[in-house]
Structure 1
Amino acid sequence: MGRGKLRRPPQFGPAHRLLRSSPRRARRPRGRARGQPRGVIYFDVTQTGAAAARSGLTRVNRRLLAEFGPAAVPAVWRDGTLRRADNAAPVVPGAADWFLTAELFSEAERPGFAAFLAARRLRCAALFHDAIPLKHPHITWPKSVARHPAYLKQLAAFDRIFAVSAASRDELLGYWRWLGLATVPPVAAVALGADAAGTPRITVPVTPPAPPQLLCLGIVEPRKNQALLLAACAALWREGRAFELHVVGRMNPHFGRPIVAALEKLRAEVGPRLVWHAAADDAAVAARLAAARATVFPTLAEGCGLPLLESLWHGVPCVCSDLPVLRENADAGGCLAVPVGDVAAWTAALRRILADDTLHRDLAAAAVARPLPTWADTAAQIRSALR
């Protein structure tokens, strides 16, 4: 099968739309008896609790946990059982309790996890991100490629699944159909929050400084497609356009080196007009957003596309790939969608956003005026469903 298509699992190794339901083959989750109090949500932090990298998955986990507040108890899978993260005591679940995970996992990484799901000692829900390791294995972390088939199949043993977009929901349901699973849990698409660091939303268009700055957020790797962005910007600099490009994100150690080499080569030619911020915390990212004329997001594949949402939260227009998953949020305003992988089209789009003040003003006005979900909204949607 060609690139971008779901692939057969390997035969070796570990293998607005707020709540949209999945097909009628879905297994009905076990309900709560009338009058029964709402239970505890044991929130999985096995991997992300101590993670240092500012990955999308880590940010999703931490923002959700923060918004759940006292309704959620951090928990980890350790020594074959679910334990409280604060004192390592084994979890003793009640009938109304839930286990909620937004992490990736496999039986090899969590021995005994399949038996835990089968025992049904408490209800289980998961946040599903994407099927990118199956669709783009050639540019995905090898560990993720090996894990993903078994992970997707194991999700079918949960009671509820929340997908980070309608596109991701459809991918998961399609994969389950391809596997021929007779019974699957309901899958609902939920809106992820745009308020990445909990900062106040920009509600009035801001005039960015001169020279204009373009900002690219995301790990440096082929999937994020910074190579295309460098080519488009190089063409504009050769035209004499005065602007800066700021690339914010760590390098993918498996696939990012050629892109970093291209970035450093171009930086030697254009000097301070091209800046790579390999390590940036939330405050540094917010400062870069405050100075940006537009964010640029030439990605090849996403589960949701948080950089687009976060850009709009800061009132900054986003020039993004014309992917169905991104259009779920881009079509409401503030974005300029560009054909995926088309260097000429991207060069033209960046030229427009840099030179056309009317276009920029209209996009910025739309960005600050349109509705955007918050992480409090996301947590409320999920918590409401966990009854």
Structure 2
Amino acid sequence: MKIALLSYSTRPRGGVVHTLHLAEALAALGEDVTVWTLGRGGDTGFFRPVSPAVRLRIVPFPDRAPGPVAETVGERVLRSIATLRDAFDPAPYDIVHAQDCISANAVGRCVRTVHHIDHFTTPELAACHERALVEPHTHVCVSAAVAEELRAGWGRSAQVIPNGVAYDRFAATDPAARAGWRDRLGRYVLTVGGIEPRKGSLDLLEAYALLRAGHPGVRLVVAGGETLFDYRDYRARWDARAAELGVEPVLLGPVPDDRLPALVAAADAFAFPSRKEGFGLAAMEALAAGVPLVVRDLPVLREVFGPAARFATTPAHLAAALGRALTVEDPARRAAGRELAAAHTWAEAARRHLALYRSLRRPGALTPPAAAGP
């Protein structure tokens, strides 16, 4: 079967990580898989090496030449869609599977993975998001909570196929590499994903200020941050609030892929205060590494993490839960976390995707069904 998986970037965001692991697992099952994406800012490859069994098609997407008026987020979204649409030909493929709203808009009717449902204020992005929920012929969600949100809000049914986890990569990290991070950072609470509203970054900052009262030597470390969207105003609020609180988090930015597992494994706790999530892949990787996990109390995160995580709502609750994670040994919770992470394999995710793809090739399978009731 010839399969095209489409993403919007070569850089390490959750949907891109998902796309590459799924592509490699499908190729390992003997399928002919091509990943299409945009090469932003001169990128000619992904943030990590990709199995040679997977074909790569990286469409150049240069930055717009400087001018008197900067390109807006909306203009960049529309240019991204048009660039990928012009380059991509669906004809050679049996399955076209988009992983985000930009690639779904570029290819039209397709399989679409809805990783999470967001709400945007930029008109072009809001329209892109809406079309990418309504127009695909088939939907996949990585959790039942998101599938229910899609059904209730848009009348679309989805196949639930959870993410896999590169378990061994995070469970068996090099001791010297972990020690290197500890020598550099000391004791630390880690979060991965950058500084943005959806990640609950300001709440984590407030929680960290409270946490330091009882744990003055613990640092807050933030890794990651590549995104298409413009969060400069939010980042300015973060910086101003950090100064007001008298705290200095360590901002690593994107961390090289080969160094990320040791960074995660060396953390004393992992904070995941997202306001919107579909699964929480970075948090599941922390469980694979045996790191205590504190997440926001959301239905989707209750579904995914259950007894393996501590849950919190307000910054005060988040600080208290992180404090317990730093001081209370909980081998049962740690074991539950490792067991949960080990159960989520990319091989199983690929098998379930492949079963779905095969079902779509039956006669009449792509006849649009009546929308499910709200």
* Within-5 A mapping of 1:27-46: 40-45=1-6
Q: Does 1:283 pair with 2:258?
A: yes
Partner of 1:375: 346
Secondary structure of 2:112 counterpart: strand
Higher helix share: 2
Secondary structure of 1:238 counterpart: coil
Partners of 1:276 and 1:217 lie apart in 2 by 10
Q: Is the 8 A contact 1:290 1:314 kept in 2?
A: yes
Match of 2:319 among 332, 335, 347: 347
Partner of 2:285: 310
Instruction: State the one-letter code of the partner of 2:139.
Output: I
Partners of 1:90 and 1:261 lie apart in 2 by 44
Pair member with larger Rg = 1
Q: Is the 8 A contact 2:26 2:33 kept in 1?
A: no
* Within-5 A mapping of 1:178-197: 187-195=158-166
- CA deviation map 1:177-227 (0-9, x unaligned): 3xxxxxx6x52111101228x726359xx9996953211111211221121
Partner of 2:169: 199
Match of 1:322 among 293, 297, 300: 297
How far 1:307 sits from its partner (Å)?
Answer: 1.7
How far 1:153 sits from its partner (Å)?
Answer: 1.3
Partner of 2:31: 71
Q: Does 1:148 pair with 2:116?
A: no
Q: Is the 8 A contact 2:36 2:58 kept in 1?
A: no
Q: Is the 8 A contact 1:106 1:147 kept in 2?
A: no
Partners of 2:311 and 2:352 lie apart in 1 by 28
Q: TM-score, normalised by structure 2?
A: 0.70
Partner of 1:170: 148
How far 1:325 sits from its partner (Å)?
Answer: 0.6
Instruction: State the one-letter code of the partner of 1:72.
Output: D
Q: Is the 8 A contact 1:41 1:100 kept in 2?
A: no
- CA deviation map 1:351-371 (0-9, x unaligned): 211222x33x34323222345
Partner of 2:16: 58
How far 1:259 sits from its partner (Å)?
Answer: 4.5
Instruction: State the one-letter code of the partner of 1:126.
Output: R
Q: Which runs of 5+ in 1 are unaligned?
A: 1-39, 118-123, 178-183
Partner of 1:11: none
**Are the structure 2 counterparts of residues 258 and 190 from structure 1 closer, same or farther at C-alpha, using a change threshold of 3 Å?**
same
Instruction: State the one-letter code of the partner of 2:350.
Output: A
Instruction: State the one-letter code of the partner of 1:125.
Output: V
Partner of 2:46: none
Secondary structure of 1:282 counterpart: coil
Partners of 1:174 and 1:58 lie apart in 2 by 27
How far 1:65 sits from its partner (Å)?
Answer: 1.0
Structure 1 segments (4+ residues) deviating >4 Å:
75-78, 86-94, 206-211
**Are the structure 2 counterparts of residues 64 and 345 from structure 1 closer, same or farther at C-alpha, using a change threshold of 3 Å?**
same
Q: Does 1:334 pair with 2:334?
A: no
Partners of 1:84 and 1:73 lie apart in 2 by 9
- CA deviation map 1:235-270 (0-9, x unaligned): 222345321211112276335323541476279x45
How far 1:292 sits from its partner (Å)?
Answer: 0.8
**Are the structure 2 counterparts of residues 285 and 60 from structure 1 closer, same or farther at C-alpha, using a change threshold of 3 Å?**
same
**Are the structure 2 counterparts of residues 74 and 266 from structure 1 closer, same or farther at C-alpha, using a change threshold of 3 Å?**
farther
Partner of 1:128: 114
Partners of 2:37 and 2:224 lie apart in 1 by 29
Partners of 1:353 and 1:75 lie apart in 2 by 39
Identity within the alignment, %: 26
**Are the structure 2 counterparts of residues 86 and 321 from structure 1 closer, same or farther at C-alpha, using a change threshold of 3 Å?**
closer
Q: Does 1:227 pair with 2:202?
A: yes
**Are the structure 2 counterparts of residues 72 and 265 from structure 1 closer, same or farther at C-alpha, using a change threshold of 3 Å?**
farther
- CA deviation map 1:9-63 (0-9, x unaligned): xxxxxxxxxxxxxxxxxxxxxxxxxxxxxxx132133x44xx2431111111111
Q: TM-score, normalised by structure 1?
A: 0.68
- CA deviation map 1:316-337 (0-9, x unaligned): 1210011111112211x32101
Partners of 1:142 and 1:316 lie apart in 2 by 40
Report the number of matched residues: 302
Secondary structure of 2:212 counterpart: helix
Partners of 2:283 and 2:290 lie apart in 1 by 11
Partners of 1:315 and 1:348 lie apart in 2 by 20
Match of 2:97 among 100, 105, 108: 100
Partners of 1:163 and 1:385 lie apart in 2 by 13
Q: Which runs of 5+ in 2 are unaligned?
A: 39-54, 60-86, 359-374
Q: Is the 8 A contact 1:106 1:150 kept in 2?
A: no
Partner of 2:223: 248
Instruction: State the one-letter code of the partner of 2:323.
Output: R
Instruction: State the one-letter code of the partner of 1:282.
Output: D
Partner of 2:334: 364
Secondary structure of 1:289 counterpart: helix
Partners of 2:89 and 2:199 lie apart in 1 by 40
